[in-house]
Structure 1
């Protein structure tokens, strides 16, 4: 691995980036600081920033990758409350005057897991192949980012983190060869939900121009009032000065209280309507309609989203492997997929188009290979962010990756470059839903 370095003079300071194959990376750049349960404060300029190491992840419970079907999103990344960092990945040879399109990646993980610099989101291929700059953002999660001790001012801190990161991009990205007037925000799962809500958040005007949402669980957005109340009642007992381990343990108790929300408990942490910087739930639809003409929107989802989560239930996998009750199981997968992803996504898209916005909806179709995780939630990630880490994963696309990956990355790249919306399906990979 080459360690050739290159310095970029930016408003944030002199940033040292490092060459890696055919990209240049500056990792772990601090865009803000925040005390626990307080809003972020944008990081002032400093003299020098060494971008050699990835930024830490927000505190979260690590999952053992060898324990059944659990899915470790972090790998070897450290964990720290001091996690408001971003990384910039540029194609090799990027000139500071290039004015390349910028894609800001907001990771998923149900607002309780993941990190911008997690290896499963390595943007190396996407940046070099599509000749765009990718900015990967890490933000606060769980009780630290979205609930605190249940007080209104503790809500939506993760949203404010994301907005702070977008301000950093607006101010600094031209120094890395990016065009601040050609910024696409993109996310998958909770990251897609975050992108949708950034469209209607205060303080985001002019910070981005296109929105790419992959598998947005909009049917869970905001949860329910009863669930939020139950979570807040447990959270208010938490010691705000406790250590991180105790905070995470308290978060588990809050999560248990969320079970009253039914399906909504699947993403019980996340945005709270009616608390800064978001409008009330009753105002949200009108707010999305108002901003629709400003943003091109590309929405994608997979055909069997819920298969990802059903796969964590051993009984379902055994039934599938034995070809027992397959029609019943597929009906369950289809029904919950519709409730969480399809109906709310179609409502969002129809409102966007009827309100003057440009957009497209894509379906990542089943390969028909009989795998339980065929066309499941997150199944598109190995195509967008290919790498060796996926080879031992239950989401591995195998030989299909070499064919399907470039096609899907081309769709993402063309959208980020010019707002081009796909109108022709890709056989065996993408259907246009209209």
Structure 2
């Protein structure tokens, strides 16, 4: 017989399930949304069974941008009706004020991933750091960020995420969390989402800290030419089309986006100047205005672009020829700088100069000669360890057991109290500011 706990929350009586040292309440609906329409917060219901993970937003089963060699969704179903959260909390741990809360926004170039994907299992993070982790699933691709190109179809995924944050403020106390101690965290596109939630209308007071891992801020917003090209193709989409037809159309939109060069790598995503975001011209000032109110921790890996370059056969062959590897490393370094480093440093410097507290960390190379050493997403197996990583090129092996707890400690301390790391971790983390 399963060990369960019933939680009386404003959203309804939630049946949660004990899993070793955590309690999980999964697949809780936070909103509903018709296709290409904003989310509507879910009203209270009598009973919610939190025993099953929420479905993923419609997507290809494998990441089209990176050629992933394993199915990151595992056995998760796919559905347009995907607006769900899952809450993972330490077992039998309470405080009078409530536990710190980390809201996890997954990455995947705004076209892939899900909050309940096994690769984001927060078991270790919740148990070791004594925090509550709320995992978010939101709409992706055409369904979440473009529609048929009309202004009102843009940024729906942003509105989904804001709806989640409202749900957290209303309900997390019932799960033992502190609504006044909420950190939003994300990796890759999820980190980009966190940065833009800082300046989105309607988010003031919904969170207090931001943790961004590998934010590709150099791609944010794309280019006018790319957006125009995508919009022209999107106009042909039938709003009544099947999900499969929508995904086929999304592939055509992605092809049109190639005019944007590097920006095409994250062509779906936030659009400046459309509700709830300011214009691109006003964004910097908006970030400066909120800086004193929000603590920021930014991390990136040393060789981000190696993740993507590794799927180009010619580059793999270049890596295998040791004498030419400096050429490859120069290429990796240059593109990493264009997509991650320069824009990240600009973001961080503006934040600090505007009165905000923050730190930047670099996840350093292990120096083992692997093509994917310290590549983009290489920190995920350390934050969310699990057997699924053993089937991937990102497997850290024995290093996971050594470096993982250190990185999770940094995340946990920041989530709990805003403590910013000031001392590097040899062989894992360098402090950049």
TM-score range, shorter chain: over 0.9
Gaps of 5+ in 1: none
Secondary structure in 2 matching 1:233:
helix
Aligned to 2:132: 133
**Whole-Å separation in 2 of the counterparts to 1:281 and 1:142:** 21
TM-aligned CA deviation for residue 96 of structure 1:
8.0
1:74-153 aligned within 5 A: 74-95=73-94, 97=96, 99-153=98-152
2:154 aligns to what?
155
Counterpart contact for 1:212–1:297, Cα < 8 Å: yes
* Alignment partner, residue 338 of structure 1: 337
> How many residues in Structure 1 have an aligned counterpart in Structure 2?
432
Post-superposition offset of 1:319 = 2.3
Q: How many Å separate the matches in 1 of 2:243 and 2:222?
A: 25
Post-superposition Cα deviations, 1:85-122, rounded to whole Å, max 9, x if no partner, equal 00000001134856000000000000000000000000
State the alpha-carbon separation in 2 of the partners of residues 418 and 69 from structure 1: 36
Encode CA deviations 1:128-178: one digit per residue, 9 max, x unaligned: 000000000000000000000000000000000000000000000000000
How much has 1:64 moved relative to structure 2?
8.8
Q: In the alignment, which residue of structure 1 is the partner of 2:206? A: 207
**Shift in alpha-carbon separation, 1:363–1:68, aligned structure 2, 3 A:** closer
How far off its partner does 1:320 sit?
1.4
TM score, norm. by length of structure 1: 0.98
| Secondary structure of residue in 1 paired with 2:391 | coil
CA RMSD for the aligned pairs? 1.3
Find the counterpart in structure 2 of residue 382 from structure 1.
Answer: 381
Matched-pair contact (CA < 8 Å) for 1:96–1:176: no
Q: What is the alpha-carbon distance in structure 1 between the residues aligned to residue 2 and residue 341 of structure 2?
A: 45
Look up the match of 2:178: 179
Runs of 5+ consecutive residues of structure 2 not aligned to the other structure: none
Aligned to 2:367: 368
- Give the Å deviation of 1:391: 1.1
Give the C-alpha shift of residue 315 in structure 1: 1.9
- Cα deviation, 1:37-96, whole Å, max 9, x if unaligned, reads 00000000000000000000000011299x975442211100000000000000011348
Q: Give runs of aligned pairs for residues 423-434 of structure 1, distance below 5 A.
A: 423-434=422-433
Question: What CA distance in whole angstroms lies between the structure 2 residues aligned with 1:43 and 1:28?
Answer: 13
CA distance 1:238–1:68, shift in 2 (3 Å): closer
Please say if residues 302 and 362 of structure 2, whose CA atoms lie closer than 8 Å, have aligned partners that are also in contact: yes
Deviation at 1:317, TM superposition (A): 1.5
Distance 1:430 1:15, change over 3 A: same
Shift in Å, 1:190: 0.1
